[in-house]
Amino acid sequence: MRAPSRRMTPERRREHLIRVAIEIYGQVPPEQVTVDDVTRAADVSRALFYRYFPGLEQLHVAALGSIVAEMIERISMPAGGSVTDQLRNAVEEFLGVVERHAAAYVALLRSGSVISTDRTDAIVDGVRDHIVALLRERAGITDPSPLTLMTLRGWVALVEGASLTWLQERAVPRDELVTWLCDQLAAMLTVTSLRDGSSYPLARP
Amino acid sequence: MRAPSRRMTPERRREHLIRVAIEIYGQVPPEQVTVDDVTRAADVSRALFYRYFPGLEQLHVAALGSIVAEMIERISMPAGGSVTDQLRNAVEEFLGVVERHAAAYVALLRSGSVISTDRTDAIVDGVRDHIVALLRERAGITDPSPLTLMTLRGWVALVEGASLTWLQERAVPRDELVTWLCDQLAAMLTVTSLRDGSSYPLARP
């Protein structure tokens, strides 16, 4: 990926390095990527690289942050229709981002990743919290019971695990996965509403 | 915790140090525990400590391994009754171990823990795989569909997340949590069986 111009603003230069890195992760596991790989693909000097990032770990963290920002922007877009339609739409957007950055997503999120750091863990936790907040907002859950919160967090973990497995195995069509995930949330909320009397628009009557 | 005797076999000595460490984690976050804390509580010299563990990280890993071994032993015990009874029993045993080692479990498993290492990640993944294998065995799921595997793994993530939240907040009684978790598995498997035609004894008709 050639730089569009030798003269970029610092912000655009930084973004360019991040985009180049995410592209490289598609071919090479992040932990095997070298500074030379990045500078060669970005057509910049090592000195320039180190002006933007102290090292590769900071580049990995920035790349994850960039993917996450795109994800949050996409799933937060206001969508019309019923709560169920909105949920389906958000899950589709989520899987779209996941699929677009498949290799980077798998490499950055998989358990035991050598590039996992306190900082990436915090970013990943931030996405989880954001999705739970979004679900609550869209479904109008203002005062969730303890089991409701566990349900929403558990479903987010299901989405995360299922999307990782799906990317690696592609054993079900994407549309089927979306429907299955939405049905799971409805079923899980139904169990919770039967257990503690909570009520939500997504639970089955 | 005093050593029962100054003359222990190396194996018992090692186990004693691990038990002492798990006890200390109940009062002090593992990342703040020092070698001196352990040797003082175990009534041994620093030299002896280092004969068994190169450092604190190895002690943390051994402690997690010890808790995990107890967990696997407990949940794997053959139980009579229906598949549903067996599931309930295994979930109760799981939460029993979790509760018995609450502070150590939270500290060792929480995301972003400074003592998380490739080795602890591998141990935690091992438990997850073991639980999925156990569920398959007990429920007679010999040839799981892709969605079934995602369901079982997703439910394990739910159990893990819910038990961490439960330990930290204690917002629901343990019995209620057990029932809720068992109901969630039945509901999740039901969704999957409706979607891809899989059938299992635990899914609702």
* DSSP code per residue over chain A: ---S-S---HHHHHHHHHHHHHHHHTTS-GGG--HHHHHHHHT--HHHHHHH-SSHHHHHHHHHHHHHHHHHHHHHS---S-HHHHHHHHHHHHHHHHHHTHHHHHHHHSTT-TT--HHHHHHHHHHHHHHHHHHHHHTT-SS--HHHHHHHHHHHHHHHHHHHHHHHH--S-HHHHHHHHHHHHHHHHHHHHHHH----TTS--
**Alpha helices of chain B — where are they, by DSSP H?**
10-25, 35-42, 46-52, 56-76, 83-100, 102-109, 118-139, 146-169, 174-196
Residue B37 lies in a domain: no
In the predicted model, what is the mean pLDDT of chain A?
89
Whether the predicted pLDDT of A159 surpasses 60: yes
Minimal Cα–Cα distance from B98 to chain A, Å?
17
Token representation of residue B41: 């509580």
- Identify whether B183 is part of a domain: yes
- The answer on pLDDT for A125 being more than 90 is no
Residue A147 with chain B: CB contacts under 8 Å = 172, 180
Residue pairs spanning A and B at CB distance below 8 A: 100
Written as six digits, the tokens of A27 are: 């071919």
- Within an 8 Å CB–CB cutoff, is residue A114 touching chain B? yes
Spell out, as residue ranges, where chain B has pLDDT lower than 50: 111-112
Q: Give the closest of A122, A187, A191 to B112, CB-based.
A: A122
Which pLDDT score, from 0 to 100, does residue B55 have? Answer: 92
Inter-chain touch A153–B176, beta carbons under 8 Å: no
Substitution target in B177, B180, B196 with the highest count of A β-carbons within 10 Å is: B180
Residue B149 contacts A where some CB pair is shorter than 8 Å: yes
- All residues of chain A having their beta carbon less than 8 Å from the beta carbon of residue B120 are none
Counting Cβ atoms within 10 Å, is residue A168 exposed (0-12), middle (13-18) or buried (19+)? exposed
- Domains identified in chain B, total number: 1
Domain of residue B146, residue span: 79-196
Residue B167 touches chain A, beta carbons under 8 Å: no
* pLDDT of the residue at B7: 75
Whether residue B202 lies inside any domain: the answer is no
The reply to whether A158 touches chain B by the CB within 8 Å rule is yes
| B171 contact residues in A (CB cutoff 8 A) | 146
The distance of B99 to chain A (nearest Cα, Å) reads 18
Answer yes or no: is A203 within a domain. Answer: no
Residue A98 lies in a domain: yes
Report yes or no: B172 at the A interface, CB cutoff 8 Å. Answer: yes
* First CA to last CA distance, chain A: 53
> pLDDT category, A112, cuts 50, 70, 90?
very low
Q: Which of residues 117-136 of B touch A (CB under 8 A)?
A: 118, 121-122, 124-125
- Does residue B180 form part of some domain? yes
pTM, rounded to two decimals:
0.89
Structural domain contains residue A129:
yes
- A191–B180 C-beta distance less than 8 A: yes
Give the pLDDT confidence score for residue B79 in this predicted structure.
78
Assess B11–A contact: CB distance below 8 Å, yes or no: no
Has residue A190 got a pLDDT over 90? Answer: yes
- Tell me, what CATH number does B86's domain have? 1.10.357.10
Shortest CA gap B17–chain A (Å): 27
- The model's pLDDT over B49-102, given as tens digits with 9 standing for 90+, comes to 999 999 998 998 899 899 999 999 999 988 788 999 999 999 999 999 999 998
Yes or no, beta carbons of B146 and A114 under 8 Å apart = no
Instruction: Name the range with the highest mean pLDDT among A55-64, A70-79, B45-54, B100-109.
Output: B45-54
Closest chain B CA to residue A163: B150
What percent of chain B clears pLDDT 90, i.e. is strictly above it?
67
Tell me whether residue B58 is in a domain: no
A114 and B118 in contact by Cβ < 8 A?
Answer: yes
Residues of A in contact with B162 (CB under 8 A): 150, 153-154
Is B176's Cβ below 8 Å from some Cβ in A?
yes
Asked if A103 is an interface residue toward chain B (Cβ–Cβ < 8 A), one would say no
| B187 contacts chain A (CB < 8 A) | yes
Q: What is the dihedral of CA B23, B24, B29, B35, to 10 degrees?
A: -130
Distance between CA atoms of residues A20 and B170, nearest Å:
46
